[in-house]
């Protein structure tokens, strides 16, 4: 048995529905089904695409996961999960695709069945990568932590997605504005105005730079706003 070193504060977390523990866990008596169900839940939860699905090959190509599971056990686990109803499977010309049996998953599966969405239009899915935690990112890009900054980072971590914080830090470094108020102004602007929804990608840098300067100036004038 390989010894587990413990969870860390630098990793992201996967939301598991209460119904998994209340209704599914007590009924699953097959290890392969349990592994596959949790794996698909993890992968799909971390997808950013509007249409969230996995095909068998994407699971089979994950060597760390498959190191404890044979291809026969993978197929058996997927089949049992589909029969139980925790996963949905839709066959298409591109192959079989698996969805979580959730409101979004059911809508996506139905769209594929009706031909409203083709699997060829989806982006390839890869397992989520571990991101450095916000404190490490701050120290690497801005400077030493203080108790006040640590509290501000903790609040930001609860309010904004981790990729936003990482990109805002990168933006501050790129503009040589290495202070947390500048990063916070960027995050506030993205939250209030929408992160890049109406901006053309070609002029996004220029527009964002001017907007950030205005936001920072406004933030300095009214820090409690």
* pLDDT tens digit sequence for 60-80: 999 999 999 999 999 999 999
- Which band of pLDDT confidence, cut at 50, 70 and 90, is reported for residue 204? very low
Residue 98's DSSP bridge partners are 54, 89
Residue 99's DSSP bridge partners are 88
Percent of the chain exceeding pLDDT 90 equals: 35
At residue 203, the pLDDT reads 42
Q: Work out the average pLDDT over 200-206.
A: 43
User: Domains of the chain, with CATH numbers?
Assistant: 18-121 (1.10.10.10), 134-221 (no CATH)
* pLDDT tens digit sequence for 32-57: 999 999 999 999 988 877 788 898 98
Residue 106 reports pLDDT greater than 60 = yes
Euclidean distance between CA atoms 225 and 223, whole angstroms: 6
Output the CA–CA distances (angstroms, integers) from residue 170 to 142, 145, 177, 183, in the order listed.
10, 17, 10, 9
At residue 133, the pLDDT reads 75
Output the CA–CA distances (angstroms, integers) from residue 37 to 84, 96, 98, 99, 181, in the order listed.
11, 16, 11, 11, 42
Q: Work out the average pLDDT over 143-154.
A: 86
183 within 8 A of 142, measured Cβ to Cβ: yes
Entry pTM: 0.58
């Amino acid at each position: 048995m390989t010894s587990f070193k413990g969870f860390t504060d630098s990793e992201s977390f996967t939301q598991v529905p209460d119904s998994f523990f209340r209704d599914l866990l007590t009924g699953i008596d097959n290890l392969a089904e349990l592994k596959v169900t949790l794996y698909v839940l993890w992968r799909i939860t971390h997808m950013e695409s509007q249409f969230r699905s996995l095909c068998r090959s994407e699971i089979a190509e994950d060597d760390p996961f498959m190191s404890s599971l044979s291809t026969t056990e993978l197929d058996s686990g997927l089949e049992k999960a589909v029969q139980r109803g925790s996963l949905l499977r839709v066959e298409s010309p591109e192959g079989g695709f698996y969805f979580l049996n959730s409101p979004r998953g059911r809508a996506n599966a139905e769209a594929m069945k009706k031909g409203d969405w083709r699997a060829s239009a989806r982006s390839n899915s890869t397992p989520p990568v571990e991101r450095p935690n916000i404190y490490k990112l701050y120290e690497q890009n801005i400077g030493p932590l203080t108790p006040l900054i640590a509290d501000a980072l903790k609040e930001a971590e609860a309010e904004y997605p981790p990729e936003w914080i990482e990109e805002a830090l990168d933006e501050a470094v790129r503009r040589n504005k290495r202070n947390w108020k500048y990063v916070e102004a960027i995050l506030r602007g993205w939250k209030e105005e929408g992160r890049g929804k109406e901006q053309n990608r070609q002029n996004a840098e220029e527009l964002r730079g001017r907007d950030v300067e205005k936001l920072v100036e406004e933030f300095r004038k009214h820090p409690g706003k």
